Amino acid sequence: MKNLTSRFATECEENAVNKPVELPMPVTGKQKMTPSEAFVETLVANGVKDVFGIVGSAYMDALDLFPLAGIRFISVAHEQGGGHMADGYARVSGRHGVCIAQNGPGVTNFVTSTAAAFWAHSPVVVITPETGSATLGLGGFQETEQLPIFSKITKFQANVNNRTRMAELTGRAFDRAMLELGPTQLNIPRDFFYGDIECEIARPIVIERGAGGEKSLDDAADLLASAAFPVILCGGGVIMADGQAEAIALAELLQAPVANSYLHNDSFPAKHPLWIGPLGYQGSKAAMKLIAKADVVLALGTRLGPFGTLPQYGMEYWPKDAKIIQVDADAKMLGLVKTISVGICGDAKAAALALTARLKTRSLACSANKSARLAEVAAAKGAWEAELDGWAHEKDKWSLEVSRNSTYMHPRQMLRELEKAMPEGAMVSTDIGNICSVSNSYLRFDRPRSMFAAMSFGNCGYAFPTIVGAKVAAPARPAIAYVGDGAWGMSFGEIQTCVRENIPVTAVVFNNGQWGAEKKNHVDFYENRFVGVNLDRQPSWAKVAQAMGAEGRTIDKLADVGPALRAAAKAQGEGKTTILEMMVTRELGDPFRRDALALPTRHLAKYQSTAAKRG
C-alpha cells in the first residue's frame, strides 16, 4: 500500500501545473507616475504575462505600455471569447486570467464569459474601462452602467473612483479574485488613466487557507474511522488546492472508492484502482452504484451543486441515509444543497492532510471489509466498461429511426475512438450539447487541470475559446475542444485568434445538423414538433476552417477518428490549428433536464392539438 501511495502521489506532485511562480519586481517605493503606469505596474506585480481582449480607445494609454512591461496583448475575435480565454488560462495555470475591453459594448460582451467564470470558480480579473467621469450619466458615447451589470456575477467589484487609487484598487481586484476564487471586476473611468499621481505598487497578498476547525476535523475523522463503506467525492476544490496527492493518500489509507464530482473528471486519476468515475449527467454507473452503498461520504472540495447529483439512467443513487462530511473553502456552500453531518470550512488539500494525520494511527472499521469492498469496486468498474463497450449507439425509437440509413458515425463509437487516441497530458474543454455531455462517460484524465467543461452556467460557445486560453497558459500540452455544431456556429470566429496569434489548438466539431440537446426535449416531451432545432444548410466547417487559415478535415469513418486526432494534436507542435468535423448521425442520448420538463398542458382550444397524448 505504501508503494501505491508514493507512486500515484509523487507523480501527481510532479505534474502540478500550479507551482509557485517567481513574481517579477514592479517599481518599488512611493513615486510619481501616471495612473496608466500604476495600473500596468500592478499587473506586473501580479505576474500578469497575457491579457485577452479587443483594442479600444478607452484604455489605449495603458495598452501602449504593455510591450515594455512584458505583457502580451492577445487580440481576440469577440470579447466573450477573450473572457473565456482568460477563464481557460486561469483554470489550467491556477493564476489570474485577465481580459479587457472597450467601455460600453466591449464590456457588455464580457457578461456571459464572466458568469461562466463565476460558476467555474476561476480567478479572472475583468477590466472594464468606463465612459469618462466628467460626462457619466449624460448618455454620451458607449455609456452604460457597468457596475450593476456585473454585480451578481463577480466576487468583488473595484471601482476606481479617484485616479490616485489606481494601484490600490487594481491590486485589490487581483487579491480578491484569488481569495474568493472567482471573477472580479476592475472598473476604471477612462479619464482616470491620465494625470500625475504619487503611489506605491503593492505586492499581492497571499492568504493561506487552513484545514478547517479542529473540532470539525475530529468529528469527521470519527465518522470516517467508524465507516463500513466510505466513499470520497473529489470536487474542483481538490484541483484548485493542488491537493490531488493528499486526496490519493487519504483514499488509500481508507481504501475508499473515489468518484469525481460532475464535470471534474480530472479531480482524481482515472488510472488509480480506487477511481470509480464521475457522478452526474452522463456520468459513470459504477460511481453511482458504489456511492449508493456508502454509509459515509467525504465530499472533498465540492459545493455539491444541485445539478451534479440528479438521478441518472433511472437511478436515484445519492445515499440518503449516509453521513455526509463536506469540505469547501467557501463556508456558505456547506450544507447548502445536501444535508450534512459535518461541515468543514477549509482548503481541500489541507483538510485531506489533516484527516489523514488523524486517521493513520487509528483502527478503521473499513479495514475489516477492505477486500470485499475492493472486489465490489473492480466489479462495478468492469461492468460499466463492458456496458460502454457494447453501447455502440442510442437505442430509443427516434434514434434508431434517424440513424438507420445513415452512413455517418454513431456519436458514442466516435467518442470511444477519441478517448482511445487521446494524447498524453491532453487538456480537453467541453461545450454544452448532447454529444459533449455524452462524452462525460468517455473522458478520463490522470492529471489535474485537464478538463475544462462549461460548468453550471452551461453556455453554448464556451469550449473553443476556453481551450485557446488554456493553450496560452500551457503551450506544451495538447489542447482539444469538443464542440457541437450549433455551439461551433457561435464560437468558430476565434479561429482567427488562433491563426493570428499563433495559438495552435484542435477543435473536434460534432456535426449532427441540429441543436441536438434541445431537439431531444422535442422528441421526449413534444412529440417531435420541431421548432428551431434543425441546423440546415450548414457550411462545410472543414472548408470554413481552411478559408480562415487553419487546417480542416471532414471525418466520416470511425477508423479515421483516432489517427486524425493524433495527427491534429501533433500538428499543434508545428503551430497548426486543426478543425476536425465529425459527421455523426442525428441520434441523441438522454436529455439534460429530465428533472425540469413535463408533458405539455393546454387549456386554450387553438392549442389543443399540441396537448400531450402520451400521458
529, with CB counted inside 10 A (0-12, 13-18, 19+), is: exposed
- Residue among 146, 284, 512, 572 that touches Mg ion (CB under 5 A): 512
We find the least distance from the C-beta atom of residue 437 to Mg ion, in angstroms, to be 11
Would residue 425 be called left, alpha or beta, if left means φ above 0 and alpha means ψ between -120 and 50 degrees?
Answer: left
Q: Which is nearer to ligand TPP, 529 or 602 (CB)?
A: 529
Q: Which is nearer to ligand TPP, 35 or 411 (CB)?
A: 411
Among the listed ranges 224-232, 365-373, 438-446, 510-518, the one in contact with Mg ion (CB under 5 A) is 510-518
The CA distance from 440 to 278, in Å, is: 8
Among the listed ranges 128-136, 273-281, 368-376, 505-513, the one in contact with Mg ion (CB under 5 A) is 505-513
Q: In sequence order, which ranges of 365-462 are alpha helices (DSSP H)?
A: 365-368, 370-390, 397-403, 411-421, 434-438
Q: Which residues contact 375 (CB under 8 A, 6 or more apart)?
A: none
Identify the H or E element spanning 231. Answer: strand 230-234
We find the least distance from the C-beta atom of residue 408 to Mg ion, in angstroms, to be 12
State yes or no: residue 446 binds Mg ion (CB under 5 A).
Answer: no
What are the cell numbers at 19?
507551482
Q: Which is nearer to ligand TPP, 223 or 460 (CB)?
A: 460
State yes or no: residue 41 binds Mg ion (CB under 5 A).
Answer: no
We find the least distance from the C-beta atom of residue 432 to ligand TPP, in angstroms, to be 4
Q: Which of residues 474-493 bind Mg ion (CB under 5 A)?
A: 484-486
We find the least distance from the C-beta atom of residue 103 to ligand TPP, in angstroms, to be 24
SS (H, E, C) 253-293: HHCCCEEECCCCCCCCCCCCCCEEEECCCCCCHHHHHHHCC
Q: Which is nearer to ligand TPP, 62 or 310 (CB)?
A: 310
Rg (CA), the chain: 25
We find the least distance from the C-beta atom of residue 97 to ligand TPP, in angstroms, to be 20
State yes or no: residue 411 binds Mg ion (CB under 5 A).
Answer: no
Tell me how many degrees the CA angle 103-494-434 measures, rounded to the nearest 5: 110
We find the least distance from the C-beta atom of residue 148 to ligand TPP, in angstroms, to be 22
Binding site for ligand TPP (CB under 6 A): 432-435, 458-461, 484-487, 510, 512, 514-518
The CA distance from 113 to 37, in Å, is: 27
We find the least distance from the C-beta atom of residue 100 to ligand TPP, in angstroms, to be 23
Given ligand TPP, Mg ion, none, residue 518, with its beta carbon under 5 to 8 Å by kind, binds: ligand TPP
Q: Which is nearer to Mg ion, 384 or 592 (CB)?
A: 592
State yes or no: residue 469 binds Mg ion (CB under 5 A).
Answer: no
Residue nearest to ligand TPP (CB): 484
Residue 54 CB neighbour total at 10 angstroms? 19
We find the least distance from the C-beta atom of residue 464 to ligand TPP, in angstroms, to be 11
The CA distance from 332 to 352, in Å, is: 20
Q: Are 365 and 261 in contact (CB under 8 A)?
A: no
- Residue among 56, 236, 448, 516 that touches Mg ion (CB under 5 A): 516
Q: Which is nearer to Mg ion, 512 or 572 (CB)?
A: 512
We find the least distance from the C-beta atom of residue 541 to ligand TPP, in angstroms, to be 11
Given ligand TPP, Mg ion, none, residue 458, with its beta carbon under 5 to 8 Å by kind, binds: ligand TPP
Q: In sequence order, which ranges of 94-197 are alpha helices (DSSP H)?
A: 105-108, 111-119, 146-150, 166-180
State yes or no: residue 465 binds Mg ion (CB under 5 A).
Answer: no
Identify the H or E element spanning 80. Answer: helix 79-93
We find the least distance from the C-beta atom of residue 523 to ligand TPP, in angstroms, to be 12
Q: Which is nearer to ligand TPP, 74 or 582 (CB)?
A: 582
Burial code of 456-484, b = ≥16 C-beta within 10 A, e = fewer? Answer: bbbbbbbbbbbbbbbbbbbeebbbbbbbb
CA neighbor of 431 nearest in space, from 413, 410, 411, 451: 451
Residue nearest to Mg ion (CB): 484
State yes or no: residue 106 binds Mg ion (CB under 5 A).
Answer: no
Given Mg ion, ligand TPP, none, residue 350, with its beta carbon under 5 to 8 Å by kind, binds: none
Q: Are 98 and 66 in contact (CB under 8 A)?
A: no
Residues that bind Mg ion (CB under 5 A): 484-486, 512, 516
